[in-house]
């Protein structure tokens, strides 16, 4: 039996108070005020035992982590034909790169960079009657938690300053890879990014990716094959131009967000979420990465 609580405690004591914490994202003004000294970690093992340290019950903006959840919804709605509109190759570029420009075909490199997630958002706006309401309901069902919600101030803040996402969406539109109105798709995208969760809710929500598609309540949301695909995308594309580094240091599929959250998992073993708002130069939580590196070193558990 692995002493997860003991290991989380060690991670928290050694990493949680480090001085070098990176920088909080300010390009979304509403995120700029978050206290950089926060640090939380929460782990759910395959038997659904839960372990926590630090500010694991405090909510934060999950930002790009939501891209995995919108992808999950889109894949369950339209299946494999999704891949005709978005590719599955790592980009090696920052999350907000307009990499469509280079390919000249309007197909984003993968669904976890912004351009790809905007195509996925377009699919949801097409397929759902009221995308914002139904997507939120979907997340609440996976997490078994009706308290999960959007942060409307964060969504509004990003809408006012998300010029690059408007550029990406317009570019997609010019290639006919956006079916709906740009403003409508981005309104959905900014709301999905503004979803707030704490580390415990995040680990519980992502439990399904370590549990062969069955959520924490044992309800099936994805097939084993779909989970394989999404975990592969998290491993190769979940950290943008730092995906190689994350695989090298941590060795788990995972996803980061500019709110400072990271979620990662080892199939059939555990799901873990960290939160530390300071980001490194690549836009990933600095202490979150260090904590997960220590976790996989101390437990001896990684996909490798
Ligand atoms: N909403 C953010 C954006 O589109 C998400 C980026 C992120 O978390 N990496 O810029």
Q: What is the mean pLDDT of the chain?
A: 95
> What pLDDT does 93 receive?
81
pLDDT by residue (tens digit) across 185-221? 999 999 999 999 999 999 999 999 999 999 999 999 9
> What pLDDT does 101 receive?
63
From atom 6 of ligand 1, which residue's Cα is the shortest distance away? 64
Report yes or no: 138 and 73 within 8 Å, Cβ to Cβ: yes
DSSP 86-118: S------S-TT--THHHHSSS--S-TTSHHHHH
For the chain, the structural domain boundaries read 4-62+196-299, 64-193
Report yes or no: 277 and 35 within 8 Å, Cβ to Cβ: yes
Which residues, in sequence order, are bridge partners of residue 149?
196
Compute φ and ψ for 254, nearest 5 degrees: -170, 180
Neighbours of 178 (CB within 10 A): 25
Top mutation candidate among 257, 260, 288 for ligand 1, by most atoms within 8 Å of CB: 257
> What pLDDT does 159 receive?
95
Helix/strand/coil for 54: strand
Whole-model pTM over 0.95: yes
Integer Cα distance of 17 and 299 in angstroms: 21
166: Cβ contacts below 8 Å, ≥ 6 apart: 182, 186
With residues binned 3-state (H G I as helix, E B as strand, rest as coil), the percentages for the chain, rounded to 5, are 50, 10, 40
How many residues are there in the chain? 304
**Is the per-residue pLDDT at 279 higher than 70?**
yes
Q: Which fold has domain 64-193?
A: Beta-lactamase (3.40.710)
pLDDT by residue (tens digit) across 230-267? 999 999 999 988 999 999 999 999 999 999 999 999 99
Token pair for residue 208? 């399904």
Q: What ipTM score was computed for the predicted complex, to two decimals? A: 0.96
**Is the per-residue pLDDT at 100 higher than 80?**
no
Token pair for residue 52? 């926590």
Buried residues in 251-280 as b, exposed as e (16+ CB within 10 A): bbbbbbbbbbbbbbbbbeebbbbbbbbbbb
Positions at the binding site: 64, 114, 158, 165, 189, 240, 258
Compute φ and ψ for 35, nearest 5 degrees: -70, 115
Buried residues in 12-49 as b, exposed as e (16+ CB within 10 A): beebbeeeebbebbeebebbeebebebbbbbbbbeeee
pLDDT by residue (tens digit) across 30-61? 999 999 999 999 999 999 999 999 999 999 99
User: What confidence tier does 102 reach under pLDDT thresholds 50, 70, 90?
Assistant: low
Positions at the binding site for substrate: 64, 114, 158, 165, 189, 240, 258
Token pair for residue 190? 């900014």
For residue 70 and ligand 1, the question of a CB distance below 6 A is answered with: no
Neighbours of 295 (CB within 10 A): 26
At the fourth CATH level, the homologous superfamily of domain 4-62+196-299 is DD-peptidase/beta-lactamase superfamily (3.40.710.10)
Percentage of residues in the chain having pLDDT higher than 70:
98
Top mutation candidate among 120, 234, 258, 263 for ligand 1, by most atoms within 8 Å of CB: 258
Integer Cα distance of 19 and 6 in angstroms: 23
For residue 201 and ligand 1, the question of a CB distance below 6 A is answered with: no
- Kindly list the catalytic residues: 64, 67, 189, 240, 258
Report yes or no: 148 and 136 within 8 Å, Cβ to Cβ: yes
DSSP 241-297: GGHHHHHHHT-S-EEE-TTSEEEEEETTTEEEEEE---B-TTSSBHHHHHHHHHHHH
């Amino acid at each position: 039996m692995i002493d997860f609580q003991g290991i989380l405690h060690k991670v928290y004591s050694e990493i949680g108070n480090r001085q070098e914490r990176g920088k909080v994202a300010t390009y979304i003004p509403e995120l700029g005020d978050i206290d950089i000294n926060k640090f939380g970690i929460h782990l759910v093992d395959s038997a659904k035992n839960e372990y926590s340290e630090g500010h694991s019950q405090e909510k934060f903006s999950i930002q790009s982590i939501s891209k995995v959840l919108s992808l999950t919804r889109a894949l369950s709605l339209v299946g494999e034909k999704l891949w005709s509109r978005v590719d599955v190759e790592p980009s090696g570029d920052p999350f907000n790169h307009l990499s469509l420009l280079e390919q000249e075909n309007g197909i984003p490199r993968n669904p976890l960079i912004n351009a790809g997630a905007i195509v996925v958002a377009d699919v949801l706006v097409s397929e759902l009657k009221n995308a914002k309401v139904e997507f939120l309901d979907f997340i609440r069902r996976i997490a078994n938690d009706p308290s999960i919600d959007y942060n409307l101030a964060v969504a509004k803040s990003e809408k006012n300053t998300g010029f690059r996402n408007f550029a990406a969406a317009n570019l997609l539109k010019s290639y006919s890879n956006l079916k709906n109105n740009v403003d409508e798709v981005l309104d959905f995208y900014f709301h999905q990014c503004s979803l707030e969760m704490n580390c415990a809710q995040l680990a519980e929500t992502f439990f399904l990716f370590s549990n062969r598609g069955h959520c924490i309540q044992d309800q099936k949301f994805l097939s084993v094959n779909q989970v394989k695909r999404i975990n592969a995308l998290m491993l190769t594309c979940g950290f943008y131009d730092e995906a190689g580094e994350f695989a090298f240091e941590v060795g788990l599929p995972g996803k980061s967000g500019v709110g400072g959250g990271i979620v990662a998992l080892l199939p059939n073993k555990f799901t873990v979420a960290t939160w530390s708002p300071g980001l490194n130069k690549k836009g990933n939580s600095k202490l979150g990465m260090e904590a997960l590196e220590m976790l996989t070193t101390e437990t001896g558990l990684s996909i490798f």
